[in-house]
Structure formats: structure tokens, C-alpha cells
Amino acid sequence: MSPSVFFTFFIFLFFPSFSALEINNFDHAYTNIINMVENIPTPSSTEPRTLNNEVGSSLVPALFVIGDSSVDCGTNNFLGTFARADRLPYGRDFDTHQPTGRFCNGRIPVDYLASFLGLPLVPSYLGQNGSVEDMVHGVNYASAGAGIIFSSGSELGQHISLTQQIQQVSDTTQQFILSMGEDAAASFISRSIFYISVGTNDYIHYYLRNISNVQTLYLPWNFNQFLATTMKQEIKNLYNSNARRVVVMGLAPIGCAPFYLWMYRSRDGHCIDIINDMVLEFNFAMRFMVEELNHELPGADIIFCDVFEASMDIIKNHDYYGFNVTTDACCGLGRYKGFIMCLSPDMACQNAANHIWWDQFHPTDAVNSILAENVWSGLHTPMCYPMSLQDMIA
């Protein structure tokens, strides 16, 4: 089907009902945004899951991932939901050149981080067979559409909420205890990395849509305090499962995402400030909460990584990073390619590597690689507080 046929079809189907259109569109997550790469090793298509798989070569025992579509690597393939990325062109530039459920043309940040840590790519919790052997380098619980608030994103269909994901972590640690014994499991978990990337859907699917009259009841400031308090409790639950090394990702500038440029009729691609202001407040509240937790939880090493800051650096210095398309998605239709979601290979641009945005809400592999390098070592812009991941585990 040609793009124009698709376009007409979707206008027809969805225009009368804006919420239906939104259903199809969102998921998001992002957490990432920006740029291109200079000296990052390009993933080789021949060695996806075996990368640095030898025993003893990794810097930490395992990587556990919690969150939304910014880091979902296949969870939603098993669920009944509109928020899915199991068809081309998703995955076309991935190691295997196949769709996997990642909301990207290629890799997501945790894929790059796994290789920096000397670990193989981490499998999705629902995609593995439940044996400890399969989970021993880590597990990815992230589910597109999930938010900090239980009901955020529920109009998309099924997802695994943040609370449920933390419960799954606890189930996993129980399995480790059964298989390796209490002390060995506690040591394993406490030296592993827990990476949390969630919160975008609490804006995209909840606050910005004024669900349950939320905008009247809460100013963005109060809403963010609520989200930070909820997240704080969830991190304490992880701590009770012996997690000690935690990376909390902030929100990306979703006010610059092609969907909102289209929806708010941006002139010249100018980002939507009213949305970015809420994101800034969210990041401020989360960073403060992380500082508090570091004081409250003995032995915890928690870092906050400001994706907004790093992403704006990429947008501003896009020439330096090698991006010449900064506002339009690579895949989609309409103004900024932000109106109709990415549905088929013929809606996608040829070269995603010079684009910041892959689809309406998600950055390209090139941006994810820059963000991952920044989380790891602050290579381009220091973005994690009080230190980078590399320094945290040193």
C-alpha cells in the first residue's frame, strides 16, 4: 500500500475520533535523543547476542532494565496492545536487521550500555524461558505504554506497569536465591545495574490528555512531586530486593518530538515550550529525589541522568554530531512526519543516521548511541549526577 493510500485510510479511520488517533500514536518513551556517533563501534550484524559473552569479561554481573518504550526490547510483542514495534521498518538497522519490539531503527540505549559493560544484549523477561541460565546476564522488563501511574497508557491496550515490573524483579531475585543461595544472590543483585527509564507516558497519555481532570486538580509542579514520590517508593522496593546500583533516567524534551510539533502547529520546528517546561520540572524533582535516596539508603549508589540536557545539546549542536534533519521523523506522514505513526517501510526515510527522530516519539539509533556514551562516561556531555555510570561502578 502506498503512503498516500495509508494516509487517506488513517485520516478516514481516525480523524473523527481524536482519541483513537492518539491510541495509535503513542507510546513512547523516550528517553533519548540525540546524535550521532563518532567512535562508537558499529554493531556487527553477525554477533548480536554473543557480544562479549565470555565468562569473566563483564564489569558487573548483570543489567536489569525497567521502563517504557524507550527501553522495551520485546515485552509488548507478547501483549494485546497498539504500542508495538514488531514490524519493519522497526529494527531495519538493528544487528539482525529484523524487528524485535524495540521502538527504533536500530539499538536502544541499554543495548549500547550492555556492550560497554561487557554483557550480551539483555533478553526481555517475557521472551526468555524462565531459567536462571537465561537471566544470568540480566533481564529487560520494560513495556511500551507503561508509566509511573498505573493507568497511564492504558488506552493503548495491555502493558506491564512500573509496579508490576518491580514485582517481576522481585520474582527474579527469588529465583536467583533458590538457585544460588541467599548470600550469592544478594551479592549478585547488589553488584548488578538497575536501569529505570519511565515517566514520558505520564505526560503523553495522562497529564497532557487531562485524564480525570488532572490538570485542574494538579499544577505540573504538584503532579511532578506526586510522580517523584511514587518513583521513590518503587526504588525503595528495588532496594529491598537488594538492588544497590540504580540509574534513573530523566525525560527527553518531548516538546520537540515530531508528534507535538505537528499537534501544536510549530512554526519552523520550534519546540513546544509549555511541554518542555513540564519536563524540566519533572527532571528537577527526580534529581532531587535521587539525592535524598542516596542519603536515606545505606550502601545505595543511585545516579540521575538528565536526558533533557543531553538531548538539547544534540539538537543545538546537530551539525557537530552529524544530524541535518532535526525536526522531522524519519518514519511517519504529515507535517514533521508527526501526524501518522510509522506503519510501513515505505513511510521511512533512506538514511536514519542523519535524523534525530526515528518516529513520532522516539529517537534514532544514532541518538541512542550518543546518549548511552554520555550515561556511560559523559563522553560528549556529562549528563548523570552525581557521577557517570563508569565512575559509579569503578
Ligand X SMILES: *[C@@H]1O[C@H](CO)[C@@H](O)[C@H](O)[C@H]1NC(C)=O
The set of catalytic residues is 69, 359, 362
**CA 208, CA 282: separation in Å to the nearest integer?**
14
Residue 120: CB minimum distance to ligand X, A: 10
Work out whether 240 is an interface residue with ligand X (CB under 6 A). Answer: no
Considering only 9, 80, 132, 133, the residue that binds ligand X (CB under 6 A) is 133
Give the pairing type, strands 384-385 and 301-305: antiparallel
Work out whether 52 is an interface residue with ligand X (CB under 6 A). Answer: no
Work out whether 216 is an interface residue with ligand X (CB under 6 A). Answer: yes
Considering only 11, 136, 325, 393, the residue that binds ligand X (CB under 6 A) is 325
Residue 324: CB minimum distance to ligand X, A: 4
Work out whether 350 is an interface residue with ligand X (CB under 6 A). Answer: no
Q: What is 309-334 written as a DSSP string?
A: HHHHHHHHTHHHHT--EEEEESB-BS
Cell representation of residue 78 = 507478547
The size of the interface with ligand X (CB under 6 A), counted in residues, is 11
Work out whether 210 is an interface residue with ligand X (CB under 6 A). Answer: yes
Cell representation of residue 51 = 557480544
> Cβ neighbours of residue 125 under 8 Å, at least 6 residues apart?
75, 139, 140, 141, 168, 172
Work out whether 354 is an interface residue with ligand X (CB under 6 A). Answer: yes
Residue 49: CB minimum distance to ligand X, A: 9
Q: Which of 306, 196, 188, 171 is nearest to 246 (CA)?
A: 196
**Contact range with ligand X by CB under 6 A, out of 33-41, 60-68, 210-218, 296-304:** 210-218
Closest CB to ligand X among 46 and 213? 213
Work out whether 45 is an interface residue with ligand X (CB under 6 A). Answer: no
Residue 290: CB minimum distance to ligand X, A: 30
Helix (H, G, I), strand (E, B) or coil at 237: helix
> Cβ neighbours of residue 370 under 8 Å, at least 6 residues apart?
34, 35, 36, 37, 310, 314, 321, 380
Helix (H, G, I), strand (E, B) or coil at 373: helix
Considering only 4, 19, 39, 213, the residue that binds ligand X (CB under 6 A) is 213
List contacts with ligand X (CB under 6 A): 129, 131, 133-134, 210, 213, 215-216, 324-325, 354
